[in-house]
Every structure is written in C-alpha cells, then in structure tokens.
Amino acid sequence: MRARRAAMSDEPKFSDEQLEAGRLLFAKPWDFRTSVTDMANLPEIHDTEIAFAGRSNVGKSSLINALTGRKGLARTSSTPGRTQMLNFFSAENTPLTIVDMPGYGYAQAPKELVAAWTDLVFAYLRGRPTLRRVFLLIDSRHGIKPIDEEAMALLDKAAVIYQVVLTKADKIKPPALERLTEETLSRLSKRPAAFPEVIATSSEKGRGLPELRAEIDQLLKS
C-alpha cells in the first residue's frame, strides 16, 4: 500500500458524493445500545463494526459525539478513565456498529482494573470477526507515546487493521500539525497492521469529521 502524504496531498481523497454519503450515514439516529465488561456479554453482531481506541482523555467519546452530532451519546469527561467498558452504538437500519473502547494509560486506575481492561480489550480485538478497523486516536499535542506503541503492538498481534486519527487538532498550529502528520506516517510505515493514512480531527471545531465519516462509509462499501 502506498503511504499517502495526507498533509501534503493537493487532491482530496473523497469526492463530494462520498462526503455526502458519509454525512448521511452519521445523520442517522445513532443511539446507545449496550455496555459490556466481559466477552460473554458481547452483543450479537451481523454487520460491520468499528472501534475507537486510545489513551484516556485523548477524545474518543468526544469524537463519537461529534461524528454523530449527538452531544451526550458517549459520555465525556475531563477526568481520565471515564469510559471503563466497551460501549456499543448503533442506528436503525444501518449496517454499522460503533464501539467506544476504554482508554489505556490511565495511571490512577487500580492495577487489577488495568489488567482487566487489557484482557477484555485484547479478547475483544482477537475474537471479533466483524471488527473491520480500529481508529487509534492520538492527541495532536503529544504524538505517539510509548504506551501508544504498546497498543499498536497489541493491535499488530491481534492482526486488526488500525488507522491513526489525530485529535484536538485545534490545539496546535498548522505547521506543527503537518510535521506531526508526516512523522506519524513514517512511524506507522514500520507497523504491519497500520493503515497508511492519518486523519487530523477536531471534535470542537469540526475539522476532519467529513473525511472521517466518508472513510467509515467507504469501509461499509468495500
């Protein structure tokens, strides 16, 4: 696969039709379906699933809310470790399920809780044939940290394709964002299961959301 120089590319990746299809997918009445703390209770899934993963506080829940245009859909908080379960979201007559994953790297969580999250997350990643892609969120202000490398190693091992999404892009200046995108792409090129494209987003300002919606919509059609 060709590594796409996302920040440099003059040509938009998506046509107006594709962006519109993405918009329509996320304009559906997205709703909370269930929360799961162990594999035995995973909902039966017949369609495509995508999951949002990343460090605590990186903006997973905010991104789900921004994509769906539903502020309170996924619970957000300035306290890290807010999402402690796998949370499933669906919309009627829509062949897509969205999963909000518990954040990793939350230092204050008791040790056993951290281990349980990791076990659950890994079991989920390995045992979910309908999981098409994990969107791995990275805070634009911090870039890829050692703990993110650990998560990537886990994803590589589980052989689940993951695509990096930079969050909180409103917090850094455009040249820094461009540099970060390039640097991130180059680090991903060494990872077996990493998707060779990066999308920079801001849940607050809306940046990158139309593209991410289109990307997800295209997944359903491929």
Contact positions vs ligand GTP (CB under 6 A): 54, 56-62, 76-78, 80-83, 103, 167-168, 170-171, 202-204
- Give dist(CA 15, CA 163) in Å, integer: 20
Q: Determine if 83 is a binding residue for Mg ion (CB under 5 A).
A: yes
The residue number whose beta carbon is nearest to ligand GTP equals 103
Of Mg ion, ligand GTP, none, which one sits near residue 170, judging by CB under 5 to 8 A according to partner kind? ligand GTP
Q: What mask, x for binding Mg ion by CB under 5 A, covers residues 21 to 60?
A: ---------------------------------------x
198 exposure class (CB count in 10 Å sphere: 0-12, 13-18, 19+): buried
- The nearest distance, CB 191 to Mg ion, in angstroms, is 24
Of 148 and 217, the one with the shorter C-beta distance to Mg ion is 148
- Give dist(CA 95, CA 117) in Å, integer: 27
* Distance (Å) of CA 75 to CA 63, 123, 200: 11, 23, 22
Report the site for Mg ion in 97-116 (rule: CB under 5 A). none
- Running DSSP on this structure, what letter comes out for residue 150? H
* Distance (Å) of CA 9 to CA 115, 142, 166, 202: 41, 23, 17, 19
Of 18 and 61, the one with the shorter C-beta distance to ligand GTP is 61
**Angle at CA of residue 77, ends 40 and 176, nearest 5°:** 110
Of Mg ion, ligand GTP, none, which one sits near residue 81, judging by CB under 5 to 8 A according to partner kind? ligand GTP
> How many residues belong to the site for Mg ion (CB under 5 A)?
4
